[in-house]
Structures are given as C-alpha cells and as structure tokens.
C-alpha cells in the first residue's frame, strides 16, 4: 500500500481515529485496488469475504428484484466504508459508477484487527449509526415526498456528498455549486422511485425556473440554493 499519511481520505475514513502505530499495522493487511466503471467489488448473496474504504470515485449499492430488475438502494462516496464486518453474507452488490480506488481488507483480517483496537470499533459504530440516520431520511423521501421534492433533495445531497473534505479536518465540507451527476436519468429514477420521463421533466422545470442550470446532460449547476432547499422540504 501507499503511505497512509498521504491518503486523501485519511482524516475522514474510519481509520481516522487510529494513531500512527495502529495505522502502520492496519496497512499491512490491506491493499489498494482500482475499479473501472461497471466493475463490481462484491456481489449480493455471496459470502462476506472483504471490506473496503473508498479512497476516490463513486459506487452504487444494488439489489435484484423478484422480476430480475436492478434496484439501486444507495451510493457510496469517498471515505465511506463498504462491507459488513463480523457478517456472514453480503446484502448488496457494490459496483463502481465512476473510476474508483478502494482500500481492501480481507474481512477475517479486518474483524480480528477491529477486535483488538477499540477505537476502530468505535468508529465503525459511529459510521453505522450515521448510515442508519441517512437510511431513515431516505425512507421518508421515498414514502412521503412528491416528484419535485425528491429531485430537489437528490440534487442537494449530491452537492453535499460530492464535496471534497477538508484535508486538515474533513468536517462539514462546503457543498458544491457545480458537479457532474454520477447517474443517468434512468438510474436517478430507479433511486427515487420515479420514471425517467418524470425525472427529465423535473430537471427541465428546475432549469427553466432558474434554480439550476444544465450545461450538459450530466452536469448540474445550482444557481439558487435557497429555492432548491425550499422545494426539498
């Protein structure tokens, strides 16, 4: 592995609570791996054999439906943790949406290390509770919000989660004004429970109203964030 001291997510990943000696030990059981768009790291229903920190890029969590369709159930960002320590099987398929780099650990090695280092276990618990809160908010979005509110919420979350963390502290990065969506319109619809036509109509309506600009099919620029926030509530 490359030096953890130069890792771009060193201060925001789960290993941020470890001291230099613990980081050195952790680095001996991990390896960096690059993923191309569309390449999967783990597969739904298979044995849980690895866990990983995301260094760069975006990945999706997906599950298969009974009729054979793919349902996107989440997105993984830089500094996020992939996998289920102390678990037996994998609940979702994890696939790169963009070029990505991850720091991979054999689950058995990681479980043993976490059991011997309480600060890492504490970070895992913190991250799990954060993900639980995020999942509950997403359930509210899917069940109670209308199409406009869903799209507005989605764009705001993208602007926040895609923002690079402060390399010194990593906390509360400033949301991006402009960014490229990692999803196609169809994938956005799958995430939000909307049709591709509805997603396109909502995006164009936001563009016409001057709340956002759409320089191209993937790029989004938030022109009026307060208005977008008001629509998302």
CA distance 17 to 22: 9
- Tens digit of pLDDT at every position of the chain (233 positions): 446 767 888 778 888 878 888 888 888 898 999 999 999 999 998 888 999 999 988 898 888 887 877 778 888 888 899 888 877 788 889 999 889 999 999 999 989 998 888 888 888 888 777 777 777 776 776 677 899 999 999 999 889 888 876 544 445 578 999 999 888 888 888 888 889 999 999 999 999 999 999 998 889 999 999 999 999 98
- Helices and strands in the chain, H and E counts: 7, 11
Query: Superfamily assignment of 4-137 in CATH?
Result: Jelly Rolls (2.60.120.10)
DSSP state of 49: -
Domains 4-137 and 145-232 fall in the same CATH topology: no
Q: What is the pLDDT of residue 168?
A: 46
Q: Is the CATH number of domain 145-232 1.10.240.10?
A: no
Domain boundaries along the sequence of the chain: 4-137, 145-232
d(CA 4, CA 69): 39
d(CA 207, CA 227): 12
Q: What is the pLDDT of residue 210?
A: 96
pTM for this prediction: 0.77
Strand positions, DSSP E, the chain = 30-35, 40-42, 50-56, 59-64, 70-76, 81-82, 93-96, 100-106, 178-180, 212-213, 219-222
Pairing state between β 178-180 and 81-82: unpaired
């Amino acid at each position: 592995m490359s030096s953890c001291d130069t890792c771009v997510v060193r201060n925001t990943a789960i290993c941020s609570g470890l001291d230099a000696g613990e980081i050195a030990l952790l680095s001996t059981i991990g390896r960096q791996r690059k993923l191309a768009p569309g390449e999967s790291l783990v597969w739904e229903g298979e044995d849980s054999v690895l866990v990983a920190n995301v260094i760069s890029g975006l990945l999706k969590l997906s599950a298969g439906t009974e009729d054979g369709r793919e349902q996107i159930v989440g997105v993984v960002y830089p500094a996020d943790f992939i996998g289920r320590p102390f678990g037996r099987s994998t609940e979702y398929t994890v696939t790169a949406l963009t070029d990505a780099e991850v720091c991979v650990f054999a689950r058995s090695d990681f479980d043993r290390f976490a059991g011997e280092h309480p600060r890492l276990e504490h970070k895992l618990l913190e991250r799990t509770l954060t993900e639980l809160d995020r999942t509950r908010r997403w359930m509210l979005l899917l069940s109670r919000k209308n199409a406009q509110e869903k799209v507005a919420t989605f764009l705001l979350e993208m602007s926040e989660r895609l923002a690079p963390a402060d390399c010194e502290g990593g906390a509360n990065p400033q949301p991006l004004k402009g960014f490229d969506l990692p999803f196609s319109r169809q994938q956005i619809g799958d995430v939000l429970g909307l049709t591709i036509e509805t997603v396109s109509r909502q995006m164009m309506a936001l563009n016409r109203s001057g709340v956002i600009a759409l320089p191209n099919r993937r790029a989004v620029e938030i022109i009026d964030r307060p208005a977008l926030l008001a629509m998302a509530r």
